[in-house]
Amino acid sequence: MNTHRITESAESRPARLSVGVVGAGRVGPALGAALQLAGHRPVAVSGVSDASRRRAEALLPGVPLVEPDEVLARADLVLLTVPDDVLPGLVAGLAETGAIRPGQLLVHTSGRYGTAVLDPALRAGALPLALHPAMTFTGTSVDVQRLAGCPFGVTAPEQLRLAAEALVVEMGGEPEWIAEEARPLYHAALAIGSNHLVTLVAQARELLTVAGVQNPGRMLGPLLGASLDNALRSGDQALTGPVARGDAGTVAAHVAELRKAAPGAVNSYLAMARATADRAMANGMLKAEQAEALLGVLADGGNA
């Protein structure tokens, strides 16, 4: 890597940048709008579906919708906000067609990848950055507001670290440095915490509805809010409920009822109960003698 060229290019770059967005999903237009609020100038965006084009028009009004290679032709800073599995092929294709310019800042927002996925662009002279906002996006203007204080997983060459962190701060975020080799684990952790949480909450809502609760969201809100706060503050010490107490009979009753009313929820209940029991035993909350009957119920799936 020509570190002198990268450092010199980053330092001599104009304070305000022309910004392009490749991939008008839920993330790209929001980040483009945030950069616009910071004084940068969105100049082009690409999107394939009707929904992506509507998002671009709503969050980046007046910005031309063009093909990806034209986005790169117009912009100093390019946001590649495409699905993880699409990113390597997109980068390789842009490099092969000569669309990437030397000195161009190329930023992807994938949690899974660091900057190695941008190696074809680096060889073409681009400046590679990985900036992943640790937030769930809706594809609406509320996302721009939520970026305030949002942590970003940042990976970049050491010479571009300050530039990467500055961009995150300009978008309202808080940079958190993630090593290249740690990106997959970092992303797995966020998927467990965010994506799996949505699944668990949706299942709980559905089960309460089946149980006759008129407003499941209102019932769950205070409980889940308190549980999340306690877990963030205290970790495993926040565990409560029948698994943490070793109440094997209650857990068996839960599983039996789920098999009748919502068989699709049985496997996830058992998997989370086993994980909860393991953590409760590891931190001393659940003693071995209390756990024996419980683990028996979990081992046979509540069929005993």
Asked if 11 and 125 sit in the same domain, the reply is yes
Longest dimension (CA), the chain: 71
What global pTM score does this model have?
Answer: 0.86
Query: Domain count of the chain?
Result: 2
Minimal CA–CA distance to 174: which of 190, 150, 201?
150
Q: What is the pLDDT of residue 26?
A: 93
Minimal CA–CA distance to 34: which of 129, 130, 127, 152?
152
Q: What is the pLDDT of residue 7?
A: 42
For 201-225, b/e burial (b = at least 16 CB within 10 A) is eebbbebbeeeeeeebeeebeeeee
Residue type, 193: G
Asked if 165 and 51 sit in the same domain, the reply is yes
Asked if 27 and 110 sit in the same domain, the reply is yes
Secondary structure (3-state) at 141: coil
Asked if 193 and 97 sit in the same domain, the reply is no
Q: Is residue 304 a part of any domain in this protein? A: no
Q: What is the pLDDT of residue 302?
A: 56
Secondary structure (3-state) at 212: coil
Q: What is the pLDDT of residue 15?
A: 59
Asked if 199 and 94 sit in the same domain, the reply is no
Minimal CA–CA distance to 267: which of 210, 200, 212?
200
Q: What is the pLDDT of residue 41?
A: 96
Asked if 174 and 198 sit in the same domain, the reply is no
Asked if 126 and 208 sit in the same domain, the reply is no
Q: What is the pLDDT of residue 233?
A: 96
Asked if 110 and 142 sit in the same domain, the reply is yes
Domain CATH number, residue 285? 1.10.1040
Q: What is the pLDDT of residue 38?
A: 95
CB-CB contact of 167 with 152 (8 Å): no
Range of the domain at 134: 3-178
Q: pLDDT tens per residue, the chain (304 residues)? A: 444 444 444 444 445 899 999 998 999 999 999 999 999 999 999 988 889 889 999 999 999 999 999 999 999 999 999 999 999 999 999 999 999 999 999 999 999 999 999 999 999 999 999 999 999 999 999 999 999 999 999 999 999 999 999 999 999 999 999 999 999 999 999 999 999 999 999 999 999 999 999 999 999 999 999 999 999 999 999 999 999 999 999 999 999 999 999 999 999 999 999 999 999 999 999 998 889 999 999 998 756 4
